[in-house]
Amino acid sequence: MASGIKDKVVILGMGCTAFGERWDMSSDMLMAEAFAEALADAGIDKGRIEAAWFGSALDDFNVGNSAIPLATALRLQNIPVTRVENMCATGTEALRGAVYAVAAGAVDVAMALGVEKLKDTGFGGLPIRTKGSVNDLWMPYGSSPGTFAQLAGAYRAKHGIAAADLKRGMAHVSWKSHQNGANSPKAHLRKPVEMDAILNAPMISDPLGLYDCCGVSDGAACAIVTTPEIARSLGKSPADLVAVKALQVCTSNGWESQYGEWDGASVRNTRVAAGRAYLEAGIRDPKGEIGMTEVHDCFSITELVTMEDLGLSAEGRATFDILDGRYDRDGAIPAQVDGGLKCFGHPVGASGLRMAYEVHAQLLGRAGQRQLRQIDFGLTHNLGGQPSNSVSSVAIFGRL
């Protein structure tokens, strides 16, 4: 029986660029910036890295396909570099590749780097992409907010939540993230926003208004991983190290969108991935043990539903938990303390690694004015695609 990933791999170093409208930076410059920070944090030479995983979700926009852009940007010396793409779970998928390689004993030190350069597209929001020549014959050309907005109506129908209550809950999600983003020096959006502005913002996809949606950003993030033993041999003490406790990915097979059972009010992949991750990490009481989360708050309704999918709120109660401040910075389980996708930003291929960067900082006590009280476990979550057809990742980090 597989033993899982728990405590087999530690993060040796992490780096993350400032996210945002990096008009002066190309993707290779972003990669170099994140890598330089991670390498310095790890305290090793570039030559120690034996394999790399490169995450970029939108290869046709400004980065280029294959692993070559990473190898070229960082001038990696003929090591294996693998490009991965799994929509918004891309960054975590890259990390999973690097972590698995180390855990398998194939290499001693591996690297994961995610990058996206979206602001050169010339418009806001994610680019519109073909779904393939067959699917384009019938599948709707829905936008990202449109696909996630549908959670709201189905959630209301399932739980009997009044539209106004749900809207207020969603608004609180965004309000909280704007508050947190103001404390993140590298965040894309660093301005608090009043509740009235959120509630009365122009509609993007009913019922998601402008402030219910994260923007898209330029940015890169990087993790260098190794085994605990090698880390110690490099002079790292346990206090300098964050261990990977669990790393799970779950992918839709069409059940939600083609089989007539899903109610549209939750994301099954997140539930499955979370269940496996808790098992892998040995967490029996997520509500009591998870100290912080960085979840995929691409839209406010996503964060709201995710809190139930992760088992942190009871079924149908996330709206009220959110309004009670449970996920605020000073709440029981702070979420998006760096601002999240909503305000730190969302360069798609980098986002999973950005989340890990914040959890890493919090666990090591390096988060400055964002530093939370003592936490034992931090959870990151990505949701690629759309609720009805998704890739969900859940990772859990802690100390050795």
Q: Which residues are catalytic?
A: 88, 346
Which of these segments, 46-54, 75-83, 126-134, 241-249, binds other proteins (CB under 8 A)?
Answer: 126-134
Site residues for other proteins, 184-223, by CB under 8 A, read 203-206, 208
CA distance 56 to 171: 30
Residues 135-174 that bind other proteins (CB under 8 A): 136-147, 149-154, 156-157
Distance CA 291, CA 119 (A): 34
328-357 residues near other proteins, rule: CB under 8 A: none
Contact with other proteins (CB under 8 A) among 40, 128, 162, 195? 128
Contacting residue, 260, 284, 369, 374, with other proteins by CB under 8 A: 260
What residues pair up with 21 in beta bridges, in sequence order? Answer: none
Q: Are 49 and 79 in contact (CB under 8 A)?
A: yes
Half-sphere CA count of 228, side-chain side, radius 13 A? 15
Query: C-alpha angle with apex 302: 301 to 306, nearest 5 degrees?
Result: 120
- Is the CB of residue 354 less than 8 Å from the CB of residue 16? yes
Separation between Cα atoms, residue 103 and residue 116, nearest integer Å: 27
Residue 365 carries which side chain, given as an amino acid letter? G
For residue 109, give both structure tokens.
Answer: 């030190």
What distances in angstroms separate CA 258 from CA 22, 38, 60, 76, 363, one per listed residue?
40, 43, 29, 44, 41
Contact between 229 and other proteins per CB under 8 A: no
| Stretch binding other proteins (CB under 8 A), from 22-30, 243-251, 262-270, 374-382 | 262-270
Place of tokens 């680019």: 127
Cα separation, 132 vs 48, in Å, equals 40
**Cα separation, 23 vs 230, whole angstroms:** 39
The distance of closest approach from Cβ of residue 205 to other proteins in the complex, given in angstroms and rounded to an integer, is 4
CB nearer to other proteins: give 136 or 315: 136
Nearest distance from residue 204's CB to other proteins, in Å? 6
Of 139 and 314, which CB lies nearer to other proteins in the complex structure?
139
Interface with other proteins, residue 23, by CB under 8 A: no
Strand partners, 51: 110
C-alpha to C-alpha distance for 151 and 387, rounded to whole angstroms: 7
Cβ-based nearer residue to other proteins, 255 or 320: 255
Instruction: Report if residue 254 touches other proteins, rule: CB under 8 A.
Output: yes
Q: Does residue 125 bind other proteins (CB under 8 A)?
A: yes
Tell me, residue by residue from 360 to 399, as one string, x for binding to other proteins by CB under 8 A and - for no binding.
----------------------------xx----------
Per-residue interface string for the shown chain with other proteins, residues 40-69, x marking contact by CB under 8 A:
------------------------------
Binding residues for other proteins (CB under 8 A): 121-123, 125, 128, 130, 133-134, 136-147, 149-154, 156-157, 203-206, 208, 253-255, 257-260, 262-264, 388-389
